[in-house]
Each structure stands twice: as C-alpha cells, then as structure tokens.
Structure 1
Amino acid sequence: MSDTTAATERPASDGPAMEVRFRGGGFAPQSRRWVGVAVFVALVALVEWGTRAGWISPLTLPRPSDVFGTFVELWNSGLLFKHLGPSLSRLAVGAALGASAGVLLGVLIGLFSYVRAGLVPLVAAIFPIPKIALLPLFVIWFGIDEGSKYALIAFGTFTPTVVATYGAVDNVDRSLIRMGQSFGLSWLSIVRKIVLPGAMPGILSGLRISLAIAIILLVAAEMLGAEYGIGAYILQAGSLYDLERLFAGVVILSLLGVIVSAAIAQIERRVLGWRT
C-alpha cells in the first residue's frame, strides 16, 4: 500500500492536523525594555513617597525630585559640561589604551604557547591587585595631572580585558579550526575567519566588565588633584554633606554606565549578527 493511500485511509477519529509551534529558539533573549523602565520608575516613586511621608529620613536619602532639580541647575549653569567633559575625555583615552592593549595581548596569549607560558603567570599576579591602591604610585610616576589618571584607568581596564580575551580564544571550537585546516586555509585565515569571530562574544563580554571598572577608577582618579570631573564634583558634594548634589553625581555616573553598556550592545548586534 502506498503512502498516499495510507494517508487517505487515516481514521476519522484522528481529527484535523494541528500546527505544532516551533520551539527551537535556542533560549534567545527577547527584548523587554519596558520592564526595566517600569521597575526604575516604581523604585523612584517609592523613594519619593517614602521621603515625603517621613519614613525615609532626608539625612539618609534625598527626594528624587530635589535631585532632579539639582541636575537641572547643573545643566542650566553649564557646570554639568564642565565636569562631564574632562571625565569623558579621561575615560575615553584611558579605556581605549587599556582595552586595545588587553585585546592584543590576550589574543597573543591565546595563539602562542611561548607568550602564554611567559605572561599568564604575570597577568595572574597583577590581576588581583586593587588598582585604586596603585594610584599613589602612578602619581609618583606620571605626576598628579592627567597622566596618572590615564594610567590608572588604562591599567584597570587592561588586566580584565587580557583575561577575558585569552579565555575567549581558548573557548573557540577546535573542530572549526580543524575544519579550516582540512580545507587548506592558511594560519592567518584561520585566525581571521574562525578564531577571532568565535572569540568575539567573550571579548565583548569582557569589555563590559572592563569599562565598568574604568568608570569606578575614573571617579577614584578624579578625587585626587582634579578641579573638574564627576569624581571631583562628588567629592566636593560629600565634603559639604550636600546629598542632592552627591546623588546627582551618582545619577550621572549611572547614566554613563548605561550608555556604555548600550554602546557595547549595539556593537554586539552588528558584529555578532551571525549567531541569530
């Protein structure tokens, strides 16, 4: 009996064929941006209500409305850009130096055994050192001006980027490399077409952590010998116990972190589109 005949003689009790929903999404995350916005708005509203009701002391948390008013004053007076401009410059230069050097060295460690044998113990030795503790040393070496701030941010960005990069290179699927070798690809082609694209998700994840560390070190560096900068602004507000100004500076840092994370996410969408 043919398959067609068997299909036509199917019992009527089976009922009509039902469409089965495809469930092969591979745990792909779905965008739910409104959830994060709703949580943030609810938290701010809760703090505002708590400070106005009196069960949150104004000496502990200022009203979010007062913090927003301080932020508006900073914007209108031009002080926001006087503090934000130097901070962005220091962050961009220091993070670019540290991240680029970290990615380059991490790739070399992942590809060459002699480089790995010589530098992995050194990286493992300096990685746990609190980078803020090295700020006085950098001041002695590079002076109290911009050089020490660039050096601290670059060094703090460098070490986690190295660790993330050579770990990402190690995690590239070796069967893909063997496949490239079997097709006669050169060593440089395998690195460019297989190793680097396969390691890119881990590298970008490491950059997220490295840039967050860079923002923390930026604040620490600006609290020493800086007239303008978000860190200097927060230090001035803290010394005067001006909570509104203090929290306004913290909000600026938080927004800066969100912008950096969003920029990394855009790079991931463009560079890692092959994963979808």
Structure 2
Amino acid sequence: METTTRKVIKNRVAFLEQKVPGYVSVLGITGILLLWELVCRLNIVPPLFLPAPTAIVTDGWELISSGELLKNLIASLYRIFGGYAIGAIFGITVGLILGFSKWADAIFTPIVYSIYPIPKIALLPLIILWFGIGEMPKIAIIALGVFFPVLINTFSGVKNVDPSLIKAAVTFGASHVSVIRKVILPGALPTIFAGLKLAAGTALLLLVSAEMIAAEYGIGAMVLHYGNLMITTKLMAGVLILSLLGLTFNRGLQWLERKLIPWK
C-alpha cells in the first residue's frame, strides 16, 4: 500500500515538473493559421469579414514597401515607450513611498484607490485641454494608465516583504535608504514586475484608443483608417503588428526580470 502511494505521489510530482518542448507553441500557432487559411479558401466566411493570412501578408508587405507602416510604427513606438517609461518610474517611486511610510499610506492610498477605477481614456478630452493638441496628451494618457497598476503592485510588494528582514537591517544600523535599496526593493521586485507586465497591456490598449481618437499617424490611426475604407486585409495587418508589439514588450520584460531577479 505504501509503495503504491509513493508511486502515485512520484507520478504527480513528475506531471507538475514536466517541461513542454518549445516547438509545441510553434505547432499550435501553425495549426491555427492553417485552419484559418482553409476556412478562407473554402469561402466559409466572406473575405471582407475574415481575410486569409496569405492576403494579410501580401497587403502587409505592401504597407512595408511603401513606407506607410514604418511611419506609423515609429509614431506609436515613440508614444508607448515615452508614456510607459514615465508611468513606470513614477508608479514604482510612489509605490515605494506609500509602502514604506505609514503616514503617506494613510493619506494617499484612499485617493489612489478612488481614482484608479476611472477609465483613463475618458480623461483624454480633459488632458487635451490641459496639454493641447500634439504628442503630449497621448503620452500622458498612457503614462496615467501605466502609473496605477505599477503603483498598486509595488505597494503590495513592499507590504509583503518579511518584516523580520527589515527589523534585522535596522538593528544592524542600516539607514532608511539602505533598507529600501537592499531589503524592500529586492523583496518587492517579483510583484513589481507583475505590475509592469499588466501595465504593458494597458499601455497598448490606451495607445490604440488615443490614436483612434486624436492622431493622424500611428498603428491605431492606421487600423481605424482602413476600417473606415473596409480594407480588412490592411486592417488585420495593423492588428497583427499590435499583437507582435505586445508580444515583444512581454518578452522584453521577462528577459529583464530574469536578469534582475535571478533567484526567482
């Protein structure tokens, strides 16, 4: 009976620890693309509503060769990197302050949680009124959307650091700055990166929304333009670029996380 139980436990552990080969993801994506192409080839769905992947690639190459895609992509990258960097820096800084200082926590945390649920894109007209028409409103709305999830995750990460580690550091004479830099920040990094990854999706969503509302150039503006013209192949090419942009963002954050948190 005991031997059987050990075998069951061993099998369960092996199942939990098994590694999936990298090619499985490639095969999955390839299968979906082939099925998509087949559905379009058999005309199960009209091309206007769902263009074939080959048609999307053909029109996407036309966008690349004409320089239109590059122009729109540069505009979008400028906005999303600028807004994301500003929002992340301020979010981490304020989160550390709120998590470390009980006074700051008591005063500002209720304000943060009352503002956080407001849809940030709804503030775009007000931000345009403040900053005028140009790049600044789009960068500001992205920064605002990034700021709150990063702040909240940083705050939660600081609060979850083992108090005994902080007390030990203080007991050995560490200053407030040293405690934050050598104890709190390393302990909170996994949660901070969770917030950064969450904020990356929010930044992409706000980028597209802002470009569709108030931009002449950008991937979001390009998608809206071809949607109005009912050229769905080029519309889907823009959506594909947005998907690749989000994937690249996520992979970049994962690489940075492995470098900064090797012990995770």
Question: Please, what TM-score do these two structures have when normalized by structure 1?
Answer: 0.86
Q: For residues 29 and 172 of structure 1, what CA distance do their matches in structure 2 show?
A: 30
How many residues are treated as equivalent by the alignment? Answer: 253
Mapped partners of 1:177, 1:71: distance in 2 = 54
Name stretches of at least 5 consecutive residues in structure 2 with no aligned partner.
1-9
1:107-118 equivalences under 5 Å are 107-118=96-107
Correspondent of 1:159 among 135, 139, 148: 148
2:48–2:230 Cα contact (<8 Å) kept = no
- Aligned residue type for 1:222: E
Q: Following superposition of structure 1 onto structure 2, how do residues 3-82 of structure 1 map, counting pairs within 5 Å?
A: 30=19, 32-82=21-71
Q: Distance in 2 between matches of 1:42 and 1:183?
A: 59
- Following superposition, the deviation at residue 227 of structure 1 comes to 1.7
Distance in 2, Cα, partners of 1:64 & 1:170: 48
Aligned to 1:224: 213
What does residue 238 of structure 2 align with? 249
In proportion to residue count, which structure has more helix? 2
Distance 1:177 1:44 in 2: 52
Query: What amino acid is aligned across from residue 231 of structure 2 in structure 1?
Result: D
Whether 2:228 is the aligned partner of 1:239: answer: yes
Q: Deviations over 1:183-239 (max 9, x none)?
A: 443333222111100100100110011111011111111113322110110110111
Q: Which moved more, 1:182-191 or 1:100-109?
A: 182-191
- 1:240 positional shift: 0.7
What corresponds to 1:197 in structure 2? 186
- Deviation at 1:261? 0.3
- In the TM superposition, what is the alpha-carbon distance from 1:56 to its structure 2 partner? 2.6
Task: Return 5+ residue gaps in structure 1 as ranges.
Answer: 1-20
| 1:83-126 per-position Cα deviation (integer Å, ceiling 9, x unaligned) | 00010001111111111111100000000011111111111011
Distance, in Å, in 2 between the alignment partners of 1:257 and 1:44 is: 19
Distance 1:31 1:267, change over 3 A: farther
Q: Distance in 2 between matches of 1:34 and 1:132?
A: 39
Q: In structure 2, do the counterparts of structure 1 residues 24 and 195 end up closer, same or farther at CA, with 3 Å as the change threshold? A: farther
Report SS of the residue matched to 1:235: helix
The secondary structure found in structure 2 opposite 1:213 is helix
Q: TM-score, normalised by structure 2?
A: 0.90
Q: State the 1:29 CA deviation.
A: 8.6
Match of 2:174 in 1: 185
Query: Counterpart of 1:209?
Result: 198
Measure the CA separation in 2 of the matches of 1:232 and 1:47: 26
Decide which of 128, 135, 138 is 1:139's aligned counterpart. 128
CA shift digits 1:123-182 (9 cap, x unpaired) = 101111111111111111111211111111111111111111101111112232233334
Tell me which amino acid in the other structure corresponds to 2:30: V
Q: Does 1:84 align with 2:76?
A: no
1:41-92 C-alpha deviation (Å, 9 max, x unpaired): 1111111011101223323211011111111111111111100001000111
* Alignment partner of 1:93 out of 82, 88, 107: 82
Residue aligning to 1:263:
252
Distance 1:24 1:43, change over 3 A: closer
Which moved further from structure 2: 238-247 or 49-58?
Answer: 49-58
What is the deviation of 1:24? 9.2
Q: Which whole-Å CA distance do the structure 1 matches of 2:18 and 2:69 have between them?
A: 36
What amino acid sits opposite 1:274 in the alignment? Answer: W
